[in-house]
Amino acid sequence: MTDLTKLSMAEMRDGLRAKTFTSAELTDAHITAMEGARELNAFVVETPEKARAMAAESDKHLAAGIPRGDLEGIPLGIKDLFCTEGVQTTAGSHILEGFTPPYESTITQNLWNDGAVMLGKLNMDEFAMGSSNETSYFGPVKNPWRATGSNFDFVPGGSSGGSAAAVSGFLAPGATGTDTGGSIRQPAAVTGIVGIKPTYGRCSRWGVVAFASSLDQAGPLTRTVRDSAIMLKSMAGHDAKDSTSLQVDVPDFEKALTGDIRGLRIGVPKEYRMDGMPEAIEKLWQQGIEWMKAAGAEIKEISLPHTKYALPAYYIVAPAEASSNLARYDGVKFGQRVEGDDITAMYENSRAAGFGHEVQRRVMIGTYVLSAGYYDAYYLKAQKVRTLIKQDFEKVWGEVDAILTPTTPTPAFGIGEKSSDPLEMYLNDIFTVTANMSGLPAISVPAGLSEDGLPLGLQIIGKALDEETVFRAGGVIEEAAQFTAQPSKWWS
């Protein structure tokens, strides 16, 4: 029998409906893979009993010929930032260890309504703050990929590192992620899979633990562009419980995958050509341009002049919002509590013990830039820069339909290699933060390997609410790249 874990979600959907296999068989295959890959540390909580019960329910719907949706019977992993009723949700933090939500996030509920099966909760950088999944209270996640001839452990990117590792390592065909500055696209790129951040407001944030509310957006991580289109359709939709949720129809994203981009105008921003960019990244980008040309697209160099200010502006806006959002974790109503002589001491003790170093660093930065005397100099200025970045994109949309860039400045790096240097770590988001600052949709598609045999990705950025063009262009890159490489299974 075919290894069920190696099928795409589209193939699983077709096989389940053709009764080639059952959801129970599919789910058991993934549970076995998940339990045999604990060395990767991708899952924080495994829910095999729940998965089997949900699979049994799906098999009833499939047997009756009335699937609830495209995801009927398909097992998924859920990033531990999404509240799941009755299943621990920690955001990768000690301060929330043991917290079991009495409610379901809108996005996960949408997935269950379409028949998806939950395998468990996936590891992540604490409160989604990180680019390597090394800030998690539950320890770092290991990238399933290793460099050629090496047994050294690499990071899977972050903050959705557990999601990326699970999908790349064939523990789940798809997983939810969140993207505040690149936390879906960057891990997708360094683990050789597909990740899309949709337009801000396309997916509900209700029931998703907040990091930076004006930047956070949920999206899927999958192994193919088609699978991302299928999964995003289920995740997206208006939600009255989220004031930033857009009241727009959700297209059938899968239908956008026509493979035809003739006449599409693709922008190549000159500001993304960085000094010291690795030759492999530059070469891959040029290859992507050639693929687009060969498919009939028109390539045009564009300018996004305020790109160089995006990263510093992001690292003012995001920590400022984080310091506000994380004020609620004080040891009073839920999560960890460390007693003190009075209530102030209890707050201080609980937060000092509950938050890791990176979260503490960002909360302090955020509190500083919002404080009297510094608000205008830092936070207000960063918001003005954000407006200029957004205007840069608005100006070029008259000339181009989508933009092609690398996803990351380097392939995956070693665990522990950059964790002592926050500034170097923050530079991993240099190509991704502009889409968050502007609220635009962007996808990362695996497109090649580094000299050491590690995955590299190309990114397509599109107009607001034009995920269809992003998927269409991403599908062309996928078809041209023919990226079939897989990590060698070294874990047991």
Domains of the chain: which residue ranges? 4-260+466-476
Concatenated DSSP letters of 401-456 = SEEEEES-SSS--BTTSSTT-HHHHHGGGTTTHHHHHHT--EEEEEEEE-TTS-EE
Instruction: Find all residues with CB under 8 Å of 97, minimum gap 6, and list them.
Output: 88, 90, 137, 335, 336
pLDDT digits (tens, 9 = 90+) for 417-471: 887 777 777 788 889 999 999 999 999 999 999 999 999 999 999 999 999 999 9
Mean pLDDT of 69-85: 98
Which one of 23, 58, 79, 234 is the catalytic residue? 79
Number of residues assigned to the chain: 492
Q: Strand, coil or helix: what is 107?
A: helix
Contact call for residues 25 and 4 (beta carbons, < 8 A) = yes
Which one of 23, 93, 132, 183 is the catalytic residue? 183
Provide the phi-psi class of 373: left if phi over 0, else alpha when psi is between -120 and 50, else beta. Answer: left
Q: Cis check for the bond before 159: say yes or no (omega within 30 of 0).
A: yes
Concatenated DSSP letters of 59-88 = HHHHHTT--SSTTTT-EEEEETTB-BTTB-
Contact call for residues 18 and 474 (beta carbons, < 8 A) = no
Rounded percentage of the chain residues whose pLDDT exceeds 70: 100
Is a pLDDT exceeding 80 seen at residue 103? Answer: yes
Amino acid at position 26, single letter: L
Q: How far apart are CA 417 and CA 428, in angstroms?
A: 13
Quote the pLDDT of residue 118: 98
DSSP 8-state secondary structure symbol assigned to residue 374: T
Contact call for residues 257 and 472 (beta carbons, < 8 A) = yes
**CATH number among 1.10.3720.10, 3.40.50.150, 3.90.1300.10, 3.40.50.2000, domain 4-260+466-476:** 3.90.1300.10
pLDDT digits (tens, 9 = 90+) for 259-285: 999 999 999 999 998 777 888 999 999
Report the alpha-carbon angle 417-422-424, nearest 5: 65
Q: How far apart are CA 198 and CA 178, in angstroms?
A: 10
Residues 111, 88, 105, 188, CA torsion sign: negative
Q: Residue 267's beta-bridge partner residues?
A: 300, 403
Beta-carbon-side half-sphere exposure of residue 432 (alpha carbons within 13 Å): 34
Greatest Cα pair distance, the chain, in angstroms, is 70
Report the alpha-carbon angle 448-452-458, nearest 5: 25
Quote the pLDDT of residue 235: 98
Mean pLDDT of 286-312: 96
Tokens of 339: 């007693």
Q: Strand, coil or helix: what is 122?
A: strand
Is a pLDDT exceeding 60 seen at residue 256? Answer: yes
Concatenated DSSP letters of 240-300 = TT-TT----PPP-GGGG--S--TT-EEEEEGGG--TT--HHHHHHHHHHHHHHHHTTPEEE
Query: Can 371 be counted among the known catalytic residues?
Result: no
Q: How far apart are CA 4 and CA 119, in angstroms?
A: 15
Mean pLDDT of 381-385: 96
Confidence band of 399 (pLDDT split at 50, 70, 90): very high
pLDDT digits (tens, 9 = 90+) for 345-378: 999 999 999 899 999 999 999 999 999 889 999 9
Is a pLDDT exceeding 60 seen at residue 49? Answer: yes
How many other C-beta atoms are found inside a 10 Å radius of the C-beta of residue 77?
A: 29
pLDDT digits (tens, 9 = 90+) for 116-167: 999 999 999 999 999 999 999 999 999 999 999 899 999 999 999 999 999 9
pTM confidence score: 0.96
Tokens of 12: 């699983």
Is a pLDDT exceeding 70 seen at residue 1? Answer: no
Mean pLDDT of the chain: 95
Tokens of 228: 């991302």
Quote the pLDDT of residue 426: 78
Q: How far apart are CA 61 and CA 70, in angstroms?
A: 12
Query: Can 159 be counted among the known catalytic residues?
Result: yes
Quote the pLDDT of residue 277: 82
Query: Can 79 be counted among the known catalytic residues?
Result: yes
Is a pLDDT exceeding 70 seen at residue 77? Answer: yes
- The better pLDDT of the pair 430, 172 is held by 172
Quote the pLDDT of residue 420: 77
Q: What beta strand segments (E) does 81-210 contain?
A: 117-122, 174-179, 194-197
Mean pLDDT of 14-43: 97
Amino acid at position 365, single letter: I
How many other C-beta atoms are found inside a 10 Å radius of the C-beta of residue 162?
A: 35
